[in-house]
Amino acid sequence: MLGAMQDWELRVTGLLEHAAREHGSREIVTAWADGRETRTDWAGIRGDALRLVQALRRLGIRSGDRVATLAMNHSRHLVCWFGVPGAGAIVHTLNPRLFDDQLEYIANHAEDRVLIYDAAFQPIVDRMRPRWKTIEHYICFDPAGDPPPSASEQPMSFEEWIGAETGEAEWERGSERDPCMLCYTSGTTGHPKGVLYEHRSTILHTYAVASSAVMAMDARSVVLPVVPMFHANNWGLPWASAAMGAKMVFSAVNEPERLIRLMRAEGATHVAGVPTVWLSLFQCLDAAGEELPPIRQALSGGSALPRALIERLMRADVRVAHA
């Protein structure tokens, strides 16, 4: 006997549908490297993600194709996280901190067909373009008219590219066991290894991240992920934020002063970063004679958080979760 209650495939686009329907006006804030701030919301992310689905299909991208990103944390990158799997493709987050030989191997091994990148990484793109054998299309996240640092020609602008679409599209319908995201290790032993996330595993991980045992998130949460979106699935925070309808705050540059200002101005409640991030934040606060903004939850990982930092966070009434 089979039950039919809420019988649908566990796919990440369902998270965005929920966020847009139930928490559509919750903000997604981006502080850009040039000092600008832009604001959208979960309804806006859904609309742009559906336009991205159309734009990718117009390029001939089909289920299972790989679409790479080379970018920091911002709302346009978030659109790709949902729009690429929404087209049935796999979003492949490239790490700009890797050596050129590693970037060459990873993109060619993944057989990426499209690269969407930040203009700040134009020098990397210029160097690697002759070595990337499978990438057919290059799109820049930055608006048209922003002069790229070194490009010989003006690349296609992401916003103009998806702006030509109506957004009247449907998400790809497929199995929850289809892949949705691809991340490679840094290759400490031999070549980097690809880690393929499926829709189902990502949804289950989302429930764990948002739970009271880990990040204790809800619709009132304001999540600031300092961990890069190209690193380890951003620890699942964009997915969990969509599931809970939380506000998200991104910074394209992780300078301590900027992060502290954002935490105060946007009312951040949940902040995630490796131990060096927390150390630099406290060094900045100590130099200014200031206290940590009133966040509720700190997530750290990557390496062991020193006991002294854990104790200091706890004294500030911050609950610490260690990944």
| CA–CA gap between residue 163 and residue 83 (Å, rounded) | 14
Percent of all residues in the chain with a pLDDT value above 70, rounded to a whole number: 97
Overall pTM > 0.85: yes
The DSSP letter of residue 155 is P
Please count the CA atoms within 13 angstroms of the CA of 125 that sit on its side-chain side. 27
Distance of CA 151 to the CA centre of its chain: 25
Question: Which domains are seen in the chain, by residue range?
Answer: 13-322 (3.40.50.12780)
Cα(64)–Cα(180) distance, integer angstroms: 8
What is the Cα–Cα distance from 90 to 85, expressed in whole angstroms? 6
The mean pLDDT value for 213-220 works out to: 96
pLDDT reported for residue 4: 77
Round the average pLDDT of the chain to a whole number and report it. 95
CA dihedral 181, 186, 192, 194 (to 10 degrees): -20
The mean per-residue pLDDT over the stretch 135-140 comes to 97
Confidence (pLDDT) at 190? 84
The pLDDT value recorded for residue 153 is 66
Phi and psi angles of residue 281, each rounded to the nearest 5 degrees, phi first: -65, -45
Window from 10-14, 115-119, 303-307 with minimum mean pLDDT: 303-307
| pLDDT on residue 163 | 97
Measured distance CA(227)–CA(73) in Å, rounded: 9
Reduced to 3 states (helix: H, G, I; strand: E, B; else coil), residue 107 is: helix
